[in-house]
Structure 1
Amino acid sequence: MRLTDLTTPALVVDAGALEANLADMAAALPGPRLRPHVKAHKTTELSRRQLAHGHAGFTCATVREVEGMAAAGLGTDLLLANEVLDARRLGAVVEAGARVTVAIDSEATLRAAVDGGVREVLVDVNVGMPRCGIAPGRAGALADAARAAGLTVRGVMGYEGHLQMVGDAAERARLTAGCTDLLLAAHTDVGGEIVAGGGTGTHAMNTACTEIQAGSYALMDTAYTAAGLPFRQALTVLSTVVSTTAPAGDMPGWAVADAGLKAFGMDHGNPSVPGGNVWFCSDEHLVFALDAPPRAGDRVRIDPAHVDPTVALHERMHVVDGDDVLDTWPVDLRGW
Structure 2
Amino acid sequence: MRVTDLTTPALLVDAAALEANLADMAALLPGPRLRPHVKAHKTTALAARQAAHGHRGFTCATVREVEGMAAAGLGEDLLLANEVLDARRLGAVVATGARVTVAIDSQQTLRAAVDGGVREVLVDVNIGMPRCGVAPERAGALADDARAAGLVVRGVMGYEGHLQLLTDPGERARLTTGCTDLLRAAHADVGGEVVSGGGTGTHRMNTACTEIQAGSYALMDTAYSAAGLPFRQALTVLSTVVSTTAPAGGTPGWAVADAGLKAFGMDHGNPAVPGGNVWFCADEHLVFDAADAPRTGDRVRVVPAHVDPTVALHERMHVVDGDEVLDTWAVDLRGW
The two structures have a TM-score, normalised by structure 1, of 1.00
CA distance in structure 2 between the aligned counterparts of 1:156 and 1:73, rounded to whole angstroms: 26
C-alpha RMSD of matched pairs (Å)? 0.3
- Residue 158 of structure 1 pairs with residue 187 of structure 2: no
Matched AA of 1:95: A
CA distance in structure 2 between the aligned counterparts of 1:12 and 1:155, rounded to whole angstroms: 38
CA distance in structure 2 between the aligned counterparts of 1:208 and 1:80, rounded to whole angstroms: 20
- Residue 291 of structure 1 pairs with residue 291 of structure 2: yes
Matched AA of 2:37: H
Deviation at 1:157, TM superposition (A): 0.2
Give the match for residue 144 of structure 1: 144
Deviation at 1:54, TM superposition (A): 0.3
- Residue 307 of structure 1 pairs with residue 307 of structure 2: yes
Deviation at 1:249, TM superposition (A): 1.4
- Residue 116 of structure 1 pairs with residue 139 of structure 2: no
Equivalent positions of 1:258-269 (< 5 A) are 258-269=258-269
Structure 1, unaligned stretches of length 5 or more? none
Give the match for residue 187 of structure 1: 187
Give the match for residue 99 of structure 1: 99
Deviation at 1:46, TM superposition (A): 0.1
Equivalent positions of 1:1-336 (< 5 A) are 1-336=1-336
Deviation at 1:136, TM superposition (A): 0.1
CA distance in structure 2 between the aligned counterparts of 1:335 and 1:170, rounded to whole angstroms: 37
CA distance in structure 1 between the aligned counterparts of 2:113 and 2:254, rounded to whole angstroms: 55
CA distance in structure 2 between the aligned counterparts of 1:190 and 1:258, rounded to whole angstroms: 52
Structure 2, unaligned stretches of length 5 or more? none
CA distance in structure 1 between the aligned counterparts of 2:284 and 2:112, rounded to whole angstroms: 41
Deviation at 1:250, TM superposition (A): 1.2
CA distance in structure 2 between the aligned counterparts of 1:190 and 1:111, rounded to whole angstroms: 18
CA distance in structure 2 between the aligned counterparts of 1:251 and 1:24, rounded to whole angstroms: 46
2:26 aligned counterpart, secondary structure: helix
CA distance in structure 1 between the aligned counterparts of 2:274 and 2:141, rounded to whole angstroms: 52
Deviations 1:278-320 (A, max 9, x none): 0000000000001100110000000000000000000000000
2:66 aligned counterpart, secondary structure: helix
Matched AA of 1:161: G
Deviations 1:231-262 (A, max 9, x none): 00000000000000000011001000000000
CA distance in structure 1 between the aligned counterparts of 2:160 and 2:132, rounded to whole angstroms: 11
Matched AA of 2:275: G
Matched AA of 1:56: R
2:45 aligned counterpart, secondary structure: helix
CA distance in structure 1 between the aligned counterparts of 2:159 and 2:234, rounded to whole angstroms: 25
Deviations 1:204-230 (A, max 9, x none): 001121000000000000000000000
The size of the alignment, in residue pairs, is 336
1:304 aligned counterpart, secondary structure: coil
CA distance in structure 1 between the aligned counterparts of 2:45 and 2:250, rounded to whole angstroms: 50
CA distance in structure 2 between the aligned counterparts of 1:321 and 1:166, rounded to whole angstroms: 32
1:154 aligned counterpart, secondary structure: strand
CA distance in structure 2 between the aligned counterparts of 1:299 and 1:279, rounded to whole angstroms: 18
CA distance in structure 2 between the aligned counterparts of 1:277 and 1:320, rounded to whole angstroms: 25
Moved over 2 A (4+): none
